[in-house]
Amino acid sequence: MILSALLVSVGINFGLCVIYICLFSILRKLPVHADVYAPRIVAETKNDSTLERLLPSSSWVRMAWLPTEDELLMRSGLDGFVFMRIYIFSLKVFTFAAVVGLCILLPINYMGNQIYIDFFDFTNASLESFSISNVNDGSKRLWIHFGAVYAFTAFVCYLLYVEFGYIASKRLAFYSSSKPKPNEFTVLVRGVPKSSTESLSETVEKFFSECYPTLYLSHYMIYNTSKIWKLLDDAEKIYRKLVSLKSTKQSSQRYGRVGCLGLFGPKVDLVEYYEKELEVLEDEAKKQQSLLNGKASYLLSHIHILSSTLPHSYVTRELRAAFVSFKSRIGAAITLNIQQGQNPTEWLTDPAPEDRDIYWAFFSTSFLTRWIGNVVVVLACTALTILFFIPVIIVQGLTNLYTLEILFPFLKGILNINVVSQVITGYLPSLILKTFLKIAPPVMKFLSSIQSYVSHSQIERSACIKVLWFIIWNVFFANALSGSILYRINVFLNPKQIPSILAAAVPGQASFFISYVVTSGWTNTASELLRLTPLIFSYIKRIFATESDEEFEVPSLSYAREIPNILLFGLLGITYFFQSPLILPFLLVYFCMGYLVYRHQLLYVYSPKFETGGQFWPIVHHCTIFSLILMQLIAIGIFGLKQLSLASTLTIPLPIITLLFNGYCQKRFSPLFKGYPVELMTKKDKRDENDPTISEFREKLITAYQDPALKPIKFSSTTDNINAPLLAFET
């Protein structure tokens, strides 16, 4: 890519960023958009439309900057705090990289004469003139690059160690200061063995009472409630129709046919019809409730109205899973880390998620089903990665005008227009790739959701890892190794040649990745402020929605979408640090924008829906280590290709040292992210002994993990208040 094409891409994306930020700074001040730009904080505002309100302002920057880290931690949780630490870590890394790269390495690269530079036609010069490719083969100046690689590795490793320790200390402090939570005392048990003489509930109680007589407190069996939810959903639909009819001002809409598709049958008053339907459901519920007995009767006595219409078999079907609660955190920790039964596929224990974090879909799956599901997901991810070669090939074809002229000879006249060719080669490829990549997070989230995870946080973390490696392969490797498919396969058939192959392929793609950072990084971050999709939906909702519609739900940040993108840009910056330092200022702008934008979003837009306790940070650590090793392998190959064999040989120990450092960090910090130390749990247990409310807390443990379908339900038998929900689960 020539410099003029890059400047066109930068100009287009910079203009889009300015437009997005200006629109946001205007729209955010209008009260009508409070549910889009400040769903967490809907402040009282005046209704007068003044000129000042319609002028862009930067007050949101101050609002995002002023809150302290403790305030951010309190509002966004530890996961939001860790998310922002990724930006802080990246800013530290690339500030150092920019100082070294732009002040030392870039001038050295440009002073070489390996590539001819026409100073009279500078804008059409190749960007490779700013890369290590322009340094003469065998030049002693390459030793400066060698020293920079070692210095950068040492600096990044130091930051990784400090940050890992800081996040670990925050995780422990966050746990230590938190109030007692049911999941701290509870373990999820799956694979409960069936017995011909006793129910599954009795089996669970007998097993844990015998094995943990002083620690066991209670248990709650998990039931198949899918049909209950079906009834509740049907009732909700009837209620919504009734409320919609009552809220309409046109009396003609109150009358209609209730036959097939509303086309057959006599015309009736729909309001009266639906009210009678709800009354029938209530009467039938009371009849069914009086017929219940035994354990099902006890359970269904807690289900008011609709859910009690179920036959006995619908609710009494126990699944082979239960939440088992203990008197102390130590008891739950002991159970969690010891194999319970002689058969490894039975009595499987997992940490219990928070009640708000539970994903109820896969509690009934067996060990074999979960194993098969994992295999299917791996195959699906592999197939998706292979299929994604198609848009990658398209993108790489667009970067080469000569290839386009051969494939589409009728476009030759248009392609010869300077502006058109610059837009096609500089802006369009990265835009197309960014568009295709938007399918990755939802697809990977779906694949993770069918892996039998029992919490939304597990699904999000698994999807984050899948998306990360998907985009690293398809954005970095597939584009860097932009030859034929056989050329890519050759990388794996000849592992000894990996450094030299990467060294030959990666530097030439620096211009494409700079354009990708600008297109996907800058523009996406600015568009995150504008929140264009929620804004459009809010307008549609105002036009078509009735007063009966549900209240606006505060959104949550998708870590599976955002964290992989940040880490990908980090990988690009680390690998191109010494090869093509020109990418570094563009990355710094991206990280600065991201820090301000997402700090604002976490404080005023997004609300945490679950809490993993900072378990996204190990993903960041591992990806950074991978990026360092990749940079070092490329350095080995480049120094070899540049006929500086001694520097290439002396770089070989660097990946080994990095792996040893990573091993030490795993031993030092990783155990703190897999569980909590006994020392802290003991302190919290002793503190609970002096808490007068702990007895009441333990009594509530038995219902803390009750399926919402089995919880007491308030049924709104009247629709006079059209804003009242049909079903409200009691706490």
Give CA–CA dist 330/390, Å, rounded: 53
Q: Would you state the pLDDT for residue 490?
A: 53
Copy the structure tokens of residue 348.
Answer: 């499987």
Give CA–CA dist 505/383, Å, rounded: 25
- Cβ(190)–Cβ(363) under 8 Å? yes
Q: At what angle do helices 617-641 and 498-505 cross, to 10 degrees?
A: 90
Q: Would you state the pLDDT for residue 315?
A: 41
C-alpha to C-alpha distances, 88 to 94, 253, 329, 557, 606, nearest whole angstrom: 10, 57, 34, 18, 20
Q: Would you state the pLDDT for residue 51?
A: 43
**Residue 104 carries which DSSP code?**
I
Q: Would you state the pLDDT for residue 420?
A: 59
pTM: 0.83
- Those residues of the chain that have pLDDT short of 50 are 43-55, 119-124, 286-316, 483-488, 547-549, 712-715, 717-731
Q: Would you state the pLDDT for residue 536?
A: 85
Q: Would you state the pLDDT for residue 291?
A: 40
Look-up: residue for tokens 């690269």? 109
Phi and psi at 201, nearest 5°, equal -60, -45
SS (H, E, C) 455-518: EHHHHHHHHHHHHHHHHHHHHHHHHHCCCCHHHHHHHHHCHHHHHHHHHHHCHHHHHHHHHHHH
Q: How many CB atoms lie within 10 A of CB 137?
A: 11
Closest by Cα among 43, 54, 17, 24 to 535: 24
